[in-house]
Amino acid sequence: MIRIAVQSKGRLADDTMYLLDEADIKINAKRRTLLVQSSNFPLEVLYLRDDDIPQSVSTGVADLGIVGENEYVERGGKAEIVKRLGFSKCRLSLAIPKALEYNGLEWFNGKKIATSYPVILHEFLEKNNIKAEIHVITGSVEISPGIGLADAIFDIVSSGSTLVSNNLKEVEVVMKSEALLIANKSLSDEKRTILNQMLFRFEAVMNAVDKKYVRMNAPKASLRAIIEVLPGLKSPTIIPLADDDWCSIHTVLDEKRFWEIIGKLKELGAQGILVTPIEKMIL
């Protein structure tokens, strides 16, 4: 049995539970007790505040944790980073009132900055020789300039809508963050084995993100040109058809370039293009 600490609520919590579910690790979401055991995998989930997860893993209270990189760095990062998970992306940024003119980092000299991330902010200011006062606050950091508590803020930014609603503008991105899978550095061989089994499932889920399985019929005369257009994992699968002048082509496309590539395939004579989502992909 291995124990994983996850955030008890919020976007990262939702993304984490979605990953576990897609990896077929069943957790009873209705039982929101502190500790819940999976019904089909040797895993138990420990629900914690996000800022408690790094320490719980580094001290061995939990074997694993899924936590935002921002919290991992702020709390000292003493656990092992096993994998970057690619979801719950955000950034830690400096923001000032929208009406003020910004002329570079020197603007912050002598200013008071409100934040929930004093360690990361202090390191950044020191590195850039900026002398500013750090005002530590929990909760709604973004309201600080509006009520005269600080001149600027240093906080998480995702869509930026919270800044806009508080008449703030983002002026410096200090670090980018995403969800991390972290582990205690003293895991037993048995727990490492379970971790590797879980990683195998996670990677199969993550490999399928934004991927489409595409099948099409195409004239053999255009086959070489079509293959050059396709950016598949390796070479596409080519299947002969009853008509000797045609073949069926199967491949995987990334959704980011999907429409661009489909347009080129149509120009080269591809027909009957069938697109289906991919749930898991094992490389």
Q: Are 46 and 66 in contact (CB under 8 A)?
A: no
User: So what's the pLDDT on residue 244?
Assistant: 93
SS3 157: strand
2-87+178-207 matches 90-177 in fold: yes
DSSP state of 59: T
Alpha-carbon span 260 to 263, nearest angstrom: 5
At 181, list the tokens: 């899978």
Choosing among 2.40.50.100, 3.40.50.300, 3.40.190.10, 3.10.580.10, the CATH entry for 2-87+178-207 is 3.40.190.10
One-letter identity of residue 22: E
For the domain spanning 90-177, the CATH number is: 3.40.190.10
DSSP string covering 231-278, please?
--SSSPEEEE-SSTTEEEEEEEEEGGGHHHHHHHHHHTT-EEEEEEE-
- The pairing of beta strand 211-219 with beta strand 271-277: antiparallel
User: So what's the pLDDT on residue 233?
Assistant: 56
For the domain spanning 211-277, the CATH number is: 3.30.70.120
User: So what's the pLDDT on residue 234?
Assistant: 66
User: So what's the pLDDT on residue 22?
Assistant: 94
99: how many CB neighbours lie within 10 A of its CB?
Answer: 7
Q: What is the mean pLDDT of each run of 10 residues along the chain (283 residues)?
A: 94 93 88 83 95 95 97 92 95 96 96 96 96 92 92 93 93 96 96 97 93 94 91 80 94 89 93 92 84
Alpha-carbon span 205 to 235, nearest angstrom: 22
Kindly report the pTM of this predicted structure. 0.85
Show me where the domains of the chain are located: 2-87+178-207, 90-177, 211-277
Q: Are 48 and 168 in contact (CB under 8 A)?
A: no
User: So what's the pLDDT on residue 274?
Assistant: 94
One-letter identity of residue 36: V
